[in-house]
C-alpha cells in the first residue's frame, strides 16, 4: 500500500496542529509510522487520501454501530441542517430523543445532552458531589472517562498509550480527591471505602472496560459494587460511553441487571456527531440547574444536527430486534477465526470479548485489570498492527484499545480479516 498523500498531509498538519492530530489516539506514536488520513467511509469501509480501502474496526472509536454514512443518519442531518444548525433555544427534537433514550435505558427518568463523553462524565461527578455533599470519587486504574482533570489519574486509552496516565496540569488539589482502585477487585474497593468513611461521593466505572483493551467484569464484581455503594451511601456511576446502546439497548445495566445511579453516554447516542449525555432518576437529575443548585450548561448542547443523528440511530436500534444478536454472532465468529489463525502459528494471545467489543492481547495470562493488560507484548502488537494495516484492515493503533464491530460487516469482510491474521501470524 502507498501512503504518499497521508504522509504529505501529516507533514503539513504537524506545522499547525500539535502532533498533527486533534486527538492523540489518532497518532501512530505507539506503533510507529504515519497516521492514515481518512477521506471518506461507507458501511464497513474507510477510504484514505491515497485511495486505499480498509475494513474498519475502529468505527470512529465506537459510534458507527450500524456502519459509516448510515443512510437514515445522513438524511436526518441533511434535512435538519436546512432548517438551521443551532438556535440556543429549546427544540422539540431534544425532547423526542430524550423520551426515546429514557424508554430504552433502565433506571433513568431524565437525561441531559452534552457535546462529548468527557463532558458527560465530568458533569456526572459534579452532580454526584453536589447531590451527596461529599468530595472524593473512586475510579479504576486503566478506565478512561474523558480528559477532564479528575479522571486523568491512571487513565487508560491514549493517556496510557502515550505514557502520561497522570497528566501534568492536573493539580495536586484535584488529584487528591480521585482514589484509585483495581478493576475486578472488590476487596480493594472495600478498603478504600473503609479508610475514607463518609468522604466518597461516587464510584465511577466503565462497567465493561474498553480503554485498556476490552475487559469484562468478573462474576459478582458489579453486583458487589452496587452493594458496597448502598452500604456506604455512595452513588454508582456507570460510564456507558462505549457500552451504551451497543452491548444492549439499555447498556450494561440491562445486560447484567445492575442498577446504576447515574449513567453516562457518548459515541453511539450521537450517531457520529459530537454528543454525550448523562442520566439518572428524578431525585438526582432535579439537582441540576435551572431547577437545582448544580450548574452545568452548553452553547451547543442538544444541537439539532447532533440530535437528528442520534435520534435516527436510537430509532433504528430500538426497531431492530435482531441487531444485538447479529452483532454478537459476528463478533464471536471473528473471535473464533482470529484465535484459530493465531493458534495455528503458536502466537501466544488472549482474546477478550463481550457482545460487539473485542480485543486481542498478546499475553498468555488472562487479562482482567490494568496490570494484566500491561503485560501484553507490545512488539508483537506493533507487528500485528502494521501487518493488518498492509492487508487493508484498520484496527486501533494501540494495544490498549478495543475493536468495535459494526453491523455493516459482512461474513466476507470477517473472512478477509481472519485471512489477514492467518497470513501475518507466522511473522508475529
Ligand atoms: N468514557 C469512555 C468509556 C470513553 O471510552 C470515552 C472516549 N473514548 C470517553 C468517556 C470520553 O469521550 P469523548 O472522547 O467523547 O470526550
Q: What is the pLDDT of residues 70-99, one digit of tens each?
A: 999 999 999 999 999 999 999 999 999 999
pLDDT higher than 90, residue 279: yes
- Other Cβ atoms closer than 10 A to 233: 11
pLDDT of residue 8: 98
User: Where in the chain is CATH 3.40.640.10?
Assistant: 71-319
Global pTM exceeds 0.95 = yes
> Would you mind telling me the total number of residues written for the chain in this entry?
428
All CATH 3.90.1150.10 domain ranges of the chain, comma separated, are: 4-69+321-425
What confidence tier does 157 reach under pLDDT thresholds 50, 70, 90?
confident
Q: How many C-beta atoms lie closer than 10 Å to residue 110's C-beta? A: 16
Q: Work out the percent of the chain whose per-residue pLDDT is above 90.
A: 94
Q: Count Cα atoms within 13 angstroms, Cβ side, for 79.
A: 11
Phi, psi of 46 (to 5 degrees): -120, 140
Kindly report which listed range (235-239, 253-257, 284-288, 374-378) carries the lowest average pLDDT score: 374-378
- Residue 127 predicted with pLDDT over 80: yes
| Statement: residue 42 has pLDDT above 60 | yes
What are 286-304's pLDDT values in tens digits?
999 999 999 999 999 999 9
Beta strand 276-280 with 110-114: parallel, antiparallel or unpaired?
antiparallel
Name residues contacting ligand 1 (CB within 6 A). 61, 116-118, 121, 144-146, 157, 206, 210-211, 239, 241-242, 266, 276
Answer yes or no: is pLDDT of 175 > 90.
no
Task: Tell how strand 235-239 and strand 262-265 pair up.
Answer: parallel
Beta bridge partners of 352: 359
pLDDT band, residue 164 (cuts 50/70/90): low
> Known catalytic residues?
144, 239, 267
- What number of other Cβ atoms are within 10 A of residue 389's Cβ? 21
Q: If you measure from the C-alpha of residue 139 to the centroid of ligand 1, how many angstroms do you get, rounded to a whole number?
A: 14
Output the pLDDT for position 154: 77
Distance (angstroms) between ligand 1 centre and the Cα of 147 equals 8
The fold for domain 71-319 equals 3.40.640
Give the span between the Cα atoms of 392 and 387, in whole angstroms. 9
Ligand 1: atom nearest CA of 143 is: 3
Q: Which three cell numbers stand for residue 54?
A: 480498509
H or E segment at 280?
strand 276-280
Nearest to 219 by CA among 258, 181, 264, 254: 258
> Which among 59, 16, 67 has a CA at the least distance from the CA of 38?
59
Pocket test of ligand 1: the residue of 121, 269, 273, 403 to mutate, having most ligand atoms within 8 Å of its CB, is: 121
Mean of pLDDT over the chain: 96
- Checking phi first, is residue 36 left (phi over 0); if not, alpha (psi -120 to 50) or beta? beta
- The answer as to CATH 3.90.1150.10 being correct for domain 4-69+321-425 is yes
CA-to-CA distance for 241 and 102, rounded, in angstroms? Answer: 16
Long-range pairs of 374-382 with CB within 8 A, sequence gap ≥ 24: 374/160, 374/212, 376/213, 377/348, 378/30, 380/347, 380/428, 381/31, 382/30, 382/31, 382/32
- Written in H, E and C, the secondary structure of 115-166 is CCHHHHHHHHHHHHHHHHCCCEEEEECCCCCCCCHHHCCCCCCHHHHCCCCC
Mean pLDDT of 307-328: 98
How far is ligand 1, taken at its centre, from the CA of residue 291, in Å? 28
pLDDT of residue 173: 87
Name the nearest CA neighbour of 188 among 177, 196, 200, 180.
180
Amino acid at each position: 500500500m502507498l501512503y504518499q498523500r497521508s504522509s504529505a498531509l501529516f507533514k503539513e498538519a504537524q506545522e499547525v496542529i500539535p502532533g498533527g492530530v486533534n486527538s492523540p489516539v489518532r497518532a501512530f506514536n505507539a506503533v510507529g509510522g504515519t497516521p492514515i488520513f481518512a477521506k471518506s467511509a461507507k458501511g464497513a469501509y474507510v477510504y484514505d487520501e491515497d485511495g486505499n480501502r480498509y475494513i474498519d474496526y475502529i468505527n470512529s472509536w465506537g459510534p458507527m454501530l450500524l456502519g459509516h454514512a448510515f443512510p437514515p443518519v445522513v438524511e436526518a442531518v441533511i434535512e435538519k441542517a436546512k432548517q438551521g444548525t443551532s438556535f440556543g433555544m429549546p427544540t422539540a427534537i431534544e425532547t423526542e430523543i430524550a423520551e426515546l433514550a429514557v424508554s430504552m435505558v433502565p433506571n433513568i427518568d431524565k437525561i441531559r445532552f452534552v457535546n462529548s463523553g468527557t463532558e458527560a462524565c465530568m458533569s456526572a461527578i459534579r452532580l454526584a458531589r453536589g447531590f451527596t455533599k461529599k468530595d472524593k470519587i473512586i475510579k479504576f486504574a486503566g478506565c478512561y472517562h474523558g480528559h477532564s482533570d479528575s479522571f486523568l489519574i491512571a487513565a487508560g486509552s491514549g493517556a496510557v498509550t502515550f505514557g502520561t496516565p497522570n497528566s501534568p496540569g492536573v493539580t495536586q488539589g484535584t488529584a487528591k480527591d480521585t482514589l484509585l482502585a483495581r478493576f475486578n477487585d472488590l476487596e480493594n474497593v472495600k478498603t478504600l471505602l473503609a479508610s475514607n468513611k463518609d468522604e466518597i461521593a461516587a464510584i465511577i466505572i466503565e462497567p465493561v472496560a474498553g480503554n485498556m483493551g476490552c475487559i469484562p467484569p468478573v462474576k459478582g464484581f458489579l453486583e458487589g459494587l452496587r452493594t458496597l455503594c448502598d452500604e456506604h451511601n455512595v452513588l454508582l456511576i456507570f460510564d456507558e460511553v462505549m457500552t451504551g446502546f451497543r452491548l444492549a439497548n439499555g447498556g450494561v445495566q440491562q445486560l447484567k441487571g445492575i442498577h446504576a445511579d447515574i449513567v453516562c453516554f457518548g459515541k453511539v447516542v450521537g450517531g457520529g456527531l459530537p454528543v454525550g449525555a448523562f442520566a439518572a432518576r428524578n431525585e438526582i437529575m432535579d439537582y441540576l440547574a435551572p431547577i437545582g443548585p448544580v450548574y452545568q450548561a452548553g452553547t451547543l448542547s442538544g444541537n439539532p444536527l447532533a440530535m437528528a443523528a442520534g435520534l435516527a440511530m436510537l430509532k433504528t436500534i430500538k426497531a431492530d430486534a435482531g441487531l444485538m444478536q447479529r452483532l454478537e454472532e459476528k463478533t464471536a465468529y471473528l473471535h473464533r477465526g482470529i484465535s484459530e489463525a493465531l493458534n495455528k502459528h503458536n502466537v501466544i494471545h488472549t482474546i477478550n470479548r463481550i457482545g460487539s467489543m473485542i480485543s486481542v492481547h498478546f499475553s498468555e495470562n488472562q487479562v482482567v485489570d490494568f496490570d494484566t493488560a500491561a503485560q501484553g507484548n507490545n512488539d508483537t502488537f506493533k507487528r500485528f498492527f502494521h501487518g493488518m494495516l498492509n492487508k487493508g484492515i484498520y484496527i486501533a493503533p494501540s494495544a490498549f484499545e478495543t475493536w468495535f464491530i459494526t453491523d455493516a460487516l459482512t461474513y466476507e469482510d470477517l473472512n478477509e480479516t481472519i485471512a489477514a491474521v492467518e497470513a501475518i501470524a507466522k511473522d508475529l
